[in-house]
Structure 1
Amino acid sequence: MPERVADEAYRLTRRVREDDNDVLVLYPDEWVEDGVAQLERIENLDRGVERPLGGPGETDRWEQTEAHNRELAETVAVEHGEVHGANAHALADFMSNHYAKRIETATGDELAEFVEEYFPRNAWPSDDQKAVVEESIRLVFECAGQPVPPRYAE
């Protein structure tokens, strides 16, 4: 059940999303109605915070992992354009916040989860982004100098 966190500077609703790895979710109160985030109320995604509470990632080194993923996404944007860059940044958000792992260590299952579940619901992709998301993932791995995981590369 979502719970409000009251502070003079912040009014947040918090909850723990319980899936394979628990994730602490903090959203501004104005985004939430009856415990559900109202997508039409979200103007700036940076105001929401999601952090893994455990799991397989490098949670003790989250800041370094996030910086690495963000730098890799920016490389994709510079080398391959805005649309691929936006997709790479969405993947950076996903891997940093949900798995606390470097993008290039993602498994095929994690990439499938990104494409099938996270990307359409959380990245708010344009039609152009949707059309090239699979290619964007390939470009991220190319920029990282790593092969795309086998299950996903099929």
Structure 2
Amino acid sequence: MAAEEPSDDGETGETGGGGAEGGAADGDRVPDVPAESVDEAERLTRLARRTESEAAAAFYRERRDELVEGHDYVPRLREEDDTLVLYPEEWMEDGTVQLDRIETTDRAVEVSLSGPGDADRYREIAAYNDAVADAVADAHGDPHADTAESFAAFMSNHYVRAVDDATPDMRAEFREEYLPRNGWPSDEQLAVVDESLDVIESAAADVDGPEES
């Protein structure tokens, strides 16, 4: 069940603010979901909320839910304080937390979705990535310009990260999945995509910002 469906249990305000770094005596079980998975669940939730496309929002939520459920957790949105909560699956029955199954509230994970500056950060990143794409177009033209435009959109909308902050896995995802499916690339564009990514990174060195968050 998607986290956009609010929690209806009575304990949501009493989870121990677990966070991915929470702790208790049973250290191996507090919590069971890795910190990097919590970060990714938060990112996907924010992307789902920000997009104007219902199909894209559903896609992000599905990816988020599959990620969390892979660690035997269930995502919920606590509306009263705009918090993403991840509950151990074993606590749940018919979508509701069963109080008698909670051995320690620290196993739950809470992530506030109301942090200041999130929308501003997205706009800052997107503006920077677009500026890099423009620099590539001015200096190199096609086909690098087309790839730069697609890569800027990919990094802004999927990761909210600068184009020159892409990891090798992100570059591979763009090259092998996003560009062929969403970029309508020419054969020439596909043939030089690795060169284009290097050109993008080089052009970014001459574009100011964004500041570190």
Q: CA deviation at 1:85?
A: 0.5
Q: Does 1:110 align with 2:170?
A: yes
Q: Which has the larger radius of gyration?
A: 2
The match for 1:128 among 188, 201, 207 is 188
Q: CA deviation at 1:69?
A: 0.1
- In structure 1, the partner of 2:155 is 95
Change (3 A) 1:104 1:20: farther
- In structure 2, the partner of 1:50 is none
The match for 2:58 among 7, 10, 16 is 16
Change (3 A) 1:68 1:94: same
Change (3 A) 1:113 1:20: farther
Q: CA deviation at 1:13?
A: 4.6
Structure 2 spans left out of the alignment, 5+ residues: 1-52, 67-112, 207-213
The match for 1:139 among 199, 204, 213 is 199
Higher relative contact order (CA 8 A, sep 6+): 2
The match for 2:127 among 42, 67, 79 is 67
Query: d(CA) in 1 for partners of 2:54 and 2:64?
Result: 22
Query: d(CA) in 1 for partners of 2:132 and 2:118?
Result: 19
Change (3 A) 1:86 1:67: same
The list of structure 1 runs, each at least 4 consecutive aligned residues, that deviate by more than 4 angstroms after superposition, is none
Structure 1 spans left out of the alignment, 5+ residues: 1-11, 23-53, 147-154
Query: d(CA) in 2 for partners of 1:144 and 1:20?
Result: 30
Richer in strand (by share): 1
- What is the TM-score of this pair, normalised by structure 2? 0.43
Secondary structure at 2:171 match in 1: helix
Aligned length: 101
Does the aligned pair in 2 maintain the 1:68–1:102 contact within 8 Å? yes
Q: Does 1:80 align with 2:140?
A: yes
